[in-house]
A and B are shown apart, each in its own frame.
Chain A
Amino acid sequence: MTTTLAGTRTRTPDIISFPPAGEARSHSAPRVAPGPNGIETIPMPHTLLTAQALEKTYRKGQHKVPVLRGVEVAIRRGEFLSIIGQSGSGKSTLLHLLGLLDVPDIGEIHFEGQRIDDLSAKVRDELRNRAFGFIFQFYHLMPELTVLENVLMPMMIRDSFFKYQRNKRRYDEQAREILSKVRLDHRLKHRPTELSGGEMQRAAIARALVAKPQVLLADEPTGNLDSQTGGEIMELLLNLNQQDGLTIVMVTHDLAIARQAHRTVKLDQGRIQSQNEVVTSAG
């Protein structure tokens, strides 16, 4: 069943404005909760993250390259969504916009019913730190730090020096626990360069999870791995999704990988071409 707003609303020029309350009430679960400043927010208990009419254009020299042209997508809590598409279809950009790494030209991002794309840089930084976990195709581990330090990085970013010192033990335990979950507990003191590709990606997943995020945003997590290691990573992600109920948004161009998700959104030329639910993927 599809509960994206894309189906219920048409694009209008004033799409950036807050959705009218009436529209929200028309929703299947009309539980209205007053948000901050008394603004009524859309009550969507099982919709965690939504993108509304996203448009994004990049400039390449003189030319404007439209990357997203009105994308609407909603991610439910606990869902494993994969976004597929050709290179340049805008799937990575969509992921970045969802994870607040970038701001849309037009459109809105809502998280737990609150608009988040127009927040100040400081709050967006904090949201990225607490609510989102990122993994990338090239892992992006810091070469100067050990695996454990890499995993602890989000906590270091979150806390000031003294606060971190106070919480150090707790964070350490947390990180070790997660590293053992991704089966890297024997590699704590190793540098990323001493790890294999699969190990690096697992370290990156541990890093993404240490802050206990609500959404894991994965950008081609298997793109740089052979099929067997990629399969292991997918297994790990599916496990996380099933056992811990972690919401995962994964971008990939590999259809076989994408099929393992609950649902697949296909992007083409910056537009959503099709959405199909792969119910059986859970198994």
Chain B
Amino acid sequence: MYKLLLCLRYLRTRYIALASIVSVMLGVATMIVVNSVMAGFSTEMRDRIHGILADVIIETNSLDGTTNPEQHMELIRKTAGEYIDGMTATVEVYGMLSFQYGGQYITRPVTLVGIEPEGKAKVGPLVDFLDSYRPIVEDKVVLRPPLRSMNEPPSWNLTPAAALYRKQWMARQQWMLEQMREDDRMDHEGEGELFDPGKAEAEAKVTPVEHNEDGTAVAETPKESADAARQAPDFLPEIVPGKHVGPGNHEGMVIQERPKAFTRQPEAAAPPAAPDPTELFQPQAQPEVADAQGPMEGRLYVGLGLISFPAEDPNTGKVQTLLMVRPGDDVKVSTVTAGRPPQAVHFNATVVDIFKSGMSEYDSNLVFCNLEYLQKVRGMIDPTTDSRAVTSIQIKLKQYADSKQVVDRLQSVFPAGVYTVRTWEQKQGPLLAAVEVESAILNVLLFMIIAVAGFGILAIFFMIVVEKTRDIGILKALGASSNGVMSIFLSYGLGLGVVGSGVGVAIGLLFVRYINQIEAVITWLTGRKVFDERIYYFPSIPTNVNAMMVVWVALGAIAIAILASILPARRAARLHPVEALRWE
């Protein structure tokens, strides 16, 4: 009885001990916050990493791929059919994406993935990531409703808005071209001798514009067509100040593809391409351009990170993502052919949609292309049998828990030297492992903080035992046993641990609950953004509180408090009553 009374009374009256428990409290709160945020990041990241990947992926080790995907799929079905929900064949190859923006060519290394959109949608969420299926929301205001309904299967068709944009653009450049030809005819009659006589007239005229991409070339245009501009205002949307004017006009799209008009010029006018240094940026497939208004045969979904850049509005300080290429625009893709030796191939393709998975590794790397066209361009179609080669087969499982079994079975069927069978987790192993290691190390470090707090308790407890020496003496004189005295201090430690970790848990959970508000306050106080969306891709700090984690952290802190009180408690128990009472 006396133990409880004294323990409670000490808890209530010794504020210095409560000071020691503050460190335990803060340690517990920090651990909960850090773990919750890490778990939030990790879950969010896993979702995003998984997002674009199928559950299980069979890849050929060779970029040439393997023919007869149907036969492979049949084999997969035979081996592990009962676990499989759906699969699709794809071609994955490295490539480059080039487009023109701000008067210069921008080239990005990409992973080119040839897919059938409907098949891909069956093995993973594709539609969720496509721009046209999502509304544009800013500050909870819908700036643009989704252009397509979720029920519509993904395809390579342009949205009406994009088609209209493309049509306008094509018409505009057609008009420009005609204007310039008109001017040309009037201004000089024979300029053929100024340039390489082997070149066609139109090409020769365009070449300097293409190569001097500085202001002079661009500046020329308004001058030349100053009067014409009045006649055709529809086709000059560069005056558009903000967002939301044209149907296909993306927000922040201030700079227009004026230079592109010049790039396209030769396409329309140039004779069949001759082997020539400018070939890289010249169209290959002439016929598509001929039926001017329609999109090209090559169609792409391009990752947002490849064709956009964040820009801060100098007036509002708001960060906006500015697009350099929009759905309906044409870009150039370079890749290698299958077969020996691999040869570079280029093709123009129309951007049909933009995808944003939220995972920057994908968004700034992946370009989806229509499978048939990619196979054609890469020469993966056997001319005799018309068999199409693929490099990977993506499989969706009914239950992801079976993945290990499926991988084991498939590995026994597909020889390891030729194929790689992996789950998405294995494919992204290093990334996931990094997060886990990071989280484990953080936990160890934070637990050390609590352990340090434990030493604080130890020191303060020793102090209290010394201070309470006479009380211990009198307790023993009154008949208290050594164990009784020890248990006073042990339960005191327990009490402090419970109080400290209890308050710590409360603070931690509150912190996690209001973390975004706290972030906003800190940002406001320091004037520096703590959590930058541009870096993390998340609109707000993701958190995920795991009840078991909270319990373990609290128990760990209590255990440390008890451990720290063992030594002082033993010292108290061993105090000789005579010595204790003699102390004056």
Contacts and interface: CB of A to CB of B under 8 A. Distances in A.
A142 interface: yes
Contact of A158 (B4, B471, B475, B479): B479
Nearest to A144: B9
A111 interface: no
Contact of B581 (A127, A140, A154, A207): A140
A140 B473 contact: yes
Given A101-B477, A130-B479, A157 B2 contact: yes
A126 interface: yes
Contact of B578 (A96, A130, A142): A96
Given A102-B576, A102-B578, A157-B475, A125 B480 contact: yes
Contact of A161 (B1, B471, B582, B584): B1
Contacts of A149: 5
Interface string A132-170: 001010101010110001000110111111001000000
A121 to B, nearest CB: 7
Given A144-B10, A144-B13, A145-B9, A134 B4 contact: no
Contact of B479 (A136, A157, A161): A157
A140 B474 contact: yes
Contact of B477 (A121, A134, A142, A161): A134
Q: Which of B2, B480, B576 has the most CB of A within 10 A?
A: B2
B1 A160 contact: yes
A121 B481 contact: yes
Interface string A201-216: 0000001000000000
Interface in A21-36: none
B404 to A, nearest CB: 54
Contacts of A122: 481
A99 interface: yes
Contacts of B482: 121
Contacts of A144: 6, 9-10, 13
A128 interface: yes
B484 A157 contact: yes
B572 to A, nearest CB: 14
A173 to B, nearest CB: 17
Nearest to A131: B479
B40 interface: no
Contacts of A142: 6, 471, 474
B547 interface: no
Given A134-B477, A157-B479, A140 B484 contact: no
Contact of B4 (A102, A128, A161): A161
Interface residues of B, number: 27
B479 A126 contact: yes
A241 interface: no
B470 interface: yes
A127 B480 CA distance: 11
Q: Which of A136, A142, A159 has the most CB of B within 10 A?
A: A142
Interface in B393-430: none
A138 B478 contact: no
A214 B473 CA distance: 21
B477 A99 contact: yes
B172 interface: no
Q: Which of B6, B470, B474, B582 has the most CB of A within 10 A?
A: B474
B5 A136 contact: no
Contacts of A129: 478-479
B13 A156 contact: no
Given A144-B13, A149-B5, A157 B478 contact: yes
A93 B476 CA distance: 16
Interface of B: 1-2, 4-6, 9-10, 13, 470-471, 473-482, 484, 576-578, 581-582, 584
Given A125-B476, A157-B475, 12 more contacts: A93-B578, A96-B577, A99-B477, A101-B577, A125-B481, A128-B477, A136-B581, A140-B581, A142-B474, A145-B6, A157-B478, A161-B1
28 contacts: A93-B578, A101-B578, A102-B576, A102-B577, A102-B578, A121-B481, A122-B481, A125-B479, A128-B476, A130-B479, A134-B474, A134-B477, A136-B474, A138-B470, A140-B471, A140-B473, A140-B581, A142-B471, A142-B474, A144-B13, A145-B5, A153-B475, A157-B478, A157-B479, A157-B480, A160-B1, A164-B1, A207-B478
| A-B pairs, 10 with minimum CB distance | A129-B479, A156-B2, A164-B1, A156-B1, A140-B474, A144-B9, A128-B479, A101-B577, A125-B481, A134-B477
